[in-house]
Structure 1
Amino acid sequence: MELTSTSFLVTLIAATALAMLLALLLWNRLPGPGAVRWGVRVLMLGLCQLTAICVVAAWINGSYGLYASWDDLLGTGDGRGSSAMTGPPVGRAKFTQGANGTRSTYFRGSHSKLAGQVIVWTPPEYDAPGAQKTRFPVLTLLHGYPGSPGSWFDLGSMPDSLEQLVQLGAAHPFILVVPEIYPGGVNTDCSDTPRRKVATWLARDVPELVAKNFRTLPEPKGWGLMGVSTGAFCAVKLPLQYPEVFRAGAALDPDPLTGDPEVLADAGLRERNSPVWLLGHAKGADVGLFLATSAQDKDSPPQQLAAFARAARGTGVRVKTLVRPSGGHNFQTWSGMYPDALGWLSTELAAPAAPS
């Protein structure tokens, strides 16, 4: 049972109600000496409190996206090898049907040699009559840290939010691609390091996988990214680093755009993989970036967005910023940014089209 699933929360609520009911029914019916009866009563009270605390903790975790899986909570991800997942042979993938019309695979990239989960969702328009030759734009969704691809569906209201905007004519019907951003359990801020080529995984292996198995528009005019928190940092970084693959990126509450010393200790490597450095070396790149935050978010202050937009002047990189008056560093705030972000992405990326 997934940590963030509704069924898990409902199970905890039922367990709490059952513990309270049993305590009420058995309080005066317990056999044995008085000391034993009082000991059992204390245990019953403790069980009631424990289950109630678990309900509150699960609700808070679901609301704020603190931990998206049991591995995140327990710290059981194995980061010692090139990947914690054995996966299929290099370059081979088998998609299996999942919830909400998604298809999922564990895939090992031929370029990075990393393996991880990739979830793909195709819009209803993809299978509509007469659309057999239509190719669709691709939007890669990048989760935060800690997090997992499933957080976009469990916490992030996808794909429902996108479908509502498509029905209103406010967004393209994108193919959604949701890969792991730290395959093997080690966060590198979506960067290639000597031991782990995560940027290559996201910018070469995953796009090749999707283009091979789905009707996608050509890169880069039909390919963009949207990320939250650490994933938002990556959504700014990757189009600047790979403009031949991604034309646009939407970043919702991005981590500091100069990089995180706790993630990449090597100062030179960190600088060369920071959006600020990449922006200064992106003259002439046909790239658009959307950066959003809230005035209350101390993890992603509005000042860094304004400074980044100023630095972009004269580079040719198109930058748009949005600062909402309130909101925390969570999916409740990020989902409120979807209309602006997805609407903007739909102006930067090509609409579905059949080959001419």
Structure 2
Amino acid sequence: MGLTSNKVLVLAILFAVLLFAGTVWWWPRLARRNWRAVGGRIGLLLVTQVAVFASIGLFANQAFGFYASWADLLGQESGQGVVVDQSGRGGAGGPLQVVDTRQVNVAGGARPQVGGQIQKVDIVGRTTHIATPAYVYLPPEYFQSRYRTRTFPATTVLTGYPGTAEALIKGLHYPQTAHELAKDGRMQPMILVMMRPTVAPPRDTECVDIPGGPQTESFFARDLPEVVSAHYRVGKRPGSWGIVGDSTGGYCALKLAMHHPETYAAGAGLSPYYRAPIDPTTGDLFHGDRLLRNAADLRWYLRHNPAPKTSLLVTSSKVGEHNYKDTLRFIDQVKGTGRTGIASIILDSGGHNFNTWRREIPGTLQWISGMLSDR
């Protein structure tokens, strides 16, 4: 049974409840002062508390999608990392392979013409040779005969670190939200490419082209749009692509839109930060390259480079988010450029969590839809 299995969660809760009841039942019998009784009391309390905390941890992991598997939890990530294809052919099956399909959890979702479809894919970058899994949401119109020649705008959707792409579907409900908004006429039908920014797990690359390491920024700026556009009916003109993410993904979304406005016409950061951190999860991102380090600081980049012709959206909360003051400073700085568009969602309160982002996603998708072209 997998780490995110409901059976595992139910069994953990049941085990914790039984241990608690057993502790209450056996406590009078362990009230003596000999070493066996004392050891029994310590053992019961320890095992019961471990079971309770395990249940809470499993519940939190299901709610927020921190880890996708036992291997992920134990630091033994078994998913794809960085693959170098020496033949230059992008793998025997091509640069994008569909490995599974599933319906969208909406009314009538069993039929793709009604609910759309989610495809699990493996992607290999042509120039960076980075290989990574992703989920692609195709709206119902993609499968309807009257739209068979139509192209659609696309948006890259990124998790935080160390989030899972699955959490974008199960926890943040991106496909369901996009479906409902388009159905109500509040946004245009749009393809969503949902994935982790961590394309070389377990390392947090912060969407940086690391000297001698994964060329993550180039993968998201060039390879990913090229591969997806070659496989799906995505608009070919500039302005067809947007990017959105939360936390680390939010920082990546803003940076990619600013550094590569020719690719991303709009970028939205939900609870983003504005400078790439250096910590044990990132390792040495810049290898002494001062220009690379400065470019990863979005406020420095705006001060020392021509303002990019793109549109940005940032979100924060007056109470509960640590980035509130930095976000206000960033908004003022972008407004001062007179060239880069800036919008915001500022909540009165909301923490750095899924519940907050679910409140911001509908408005974000509507905004990014309005920034993109479908041709």
TM-score by length of 1: 0.83
Per-residue deviation at 1:280? 3.7
Determine whether 1:305 maps to 2:363: no
Distance 2:24 2:39 in 1: 15
Structure 1, 335-344 or 35-44: larger mean CA deviation: 35-44
Distance 2:305 2:93 in 1: 32
When residues 63 and 93 of structure 1 are mapped into structure 2, their CA distance, relative to the original with a 3 A threshold, is: closer
Identity, in percent, stands at 29
- 1:123 matched residue in structure 2: 139
Aligned mate of 1:155, from 165, 168, 171 = 171
When residues 294 and 173 of structure 1 are mapped into structure 2, their CA distance, relative to the original with a 3 A threshold, is: same
SS in 2 for 1:3: coil
- 2:100 matched residue in structure 1: 97
Aligned mate of 2:151, from 129, 132, 135 = 135
When residues 105 and 65 of structure 1 are mapped into structure 2, their CA distance, relative to the original with a 3 A threshold, is: closer
- 1:60 matched residue in structure 2: 60
When residues 346 and 58 of structure 1 are mapped into structure 2, their CA distance, relative to the original with a 3 A threshold, is: same
Aligned mate of 2:359, from 336, 344, 350 = 336
- 1:239 matched residue in structure 2: 257
Per-residue deviation at 1:90? 9.0
When residues 320 and 69 of structure 1 are mapped into structure 2, their CA distance, relative to the original with a 3 A threshold, is: farther
Distance 1:268 1:90 in 2: 38
When residues 97 and 340 of structure 1 are mapped into structure 2, their CA distance, relative to the original with a 3 A threshold, is: same
Determine whether 1:287 maps to 2:315: no
SS in 1 for 2:147: coil
- Summarize the alignment of residues 143-222 of structure 1 with structure 2, pairs less than 5 Å apart: 143-185=159-201, 186-194=203-211, 195-222=213-240
Query: Cα deviation per residue 1:91-112 (whole Å; 9 max; x = unaligned)?
Result: 5332122444321222321211
Q: Contact conserved, 1:282 with 1:317, CA < 8 A, in 2?
A: no
- 1:31 matched residue in structure 2: none
- 2:107 matched residue in structure 1: none
SS in 2 for 1:295: strand
Determine whether 1:51 maps to 2:68: no
Distance 2:129 2:6 in 1: 35
When residues 310 and 56 of structure 1 are mapped into structure 2, their CA distance, relative to the original with a 3 A threshold, is: same
Q: Contact conserved, 1:83 with 1:184, CA < 8 A, in 2?
A: no
Query: What code does the residue aligned with 2:329 have?
Result: A
When residues 229 and 337 of structure 1 are mapped into structure 2, their CA distance, relative to the original with a 3 A threshold, is: same
Query: What code does the residue aligned with 2:268 have?
Result: A
Q: Contact conserved, 1:144 with 1:230, CA < 8 A, in 2?
A: yes
When residues 269 and 90 of structure 1 are mapped into structure 2, their CA distance, relative to the original with a 3 A threshold, is: farther
Q: Contact conserved, 2:208 with 2:216, CA < 8 A, in 1?
A: yes
Determine whether 1:321 maps to 2:324: no
Distance 2:247 2:269 in 1: 8
Per-residue deviation at 1:152? 0.7
Query: What code does the residue aligned with 1:258 have?
Result: R
Distance 1:193 1:118 in 2: 22
When residues 282 and 98 of structure 1 are mapped into structure 2, their CA distance, relative to the original with a 3 A threshold, is: farther
Distance 2:43 2:351 in 1: 38
SS in 2 for 1:150: helix
5+ residue gaps, structure 1: 28-34
- 2:108 matched residue in structure 1: none
Per-residue deviation at 1:213? 1.0
Q: Contact conserved, 1:83 with 1:183, CA < 8 A, in 2?
A: no
Question: RMSD over aligned Cα, in angstroms?
Answer: 3.4
Query: What code does the residue aligned with 1:335 have?
Result: R
SS in 1 for 2:145: coil
Distance 2:25 2:307 in 1: 74
When residues 96 and 13 of structure 1 are mapped into structure 2, their CA distance, relative to the original with a 3 A threshold, is: same
Whose RCO is larger (CA < 8 A, sep 6+)? Answer: 1
Distance 2:66 2:6 in 1: 16
Q: Contact conserved, 2:269 with 2:315, CA < 8 A, in 1?
A: yes
SS in 2 for 1:325: strand
When residues 333 and 12 of structure 1 are mapped into structure 2, their CA distance, relative to the original with a 3 A threshold, is: same
When residues 145 and 85 of structure 1 are mapped into structure 2, their CA distance, relative to the original with a 3 A threshold, is: farther
Structure 1, 153-162 or 337-346: larger mean CA deviation: 153-162
Query: Cα deviation per residue 1:136-193 (whole Å; 9 max; x = unaligned)?
Result: 1101101111112222123212311222222222222211102332222222210111
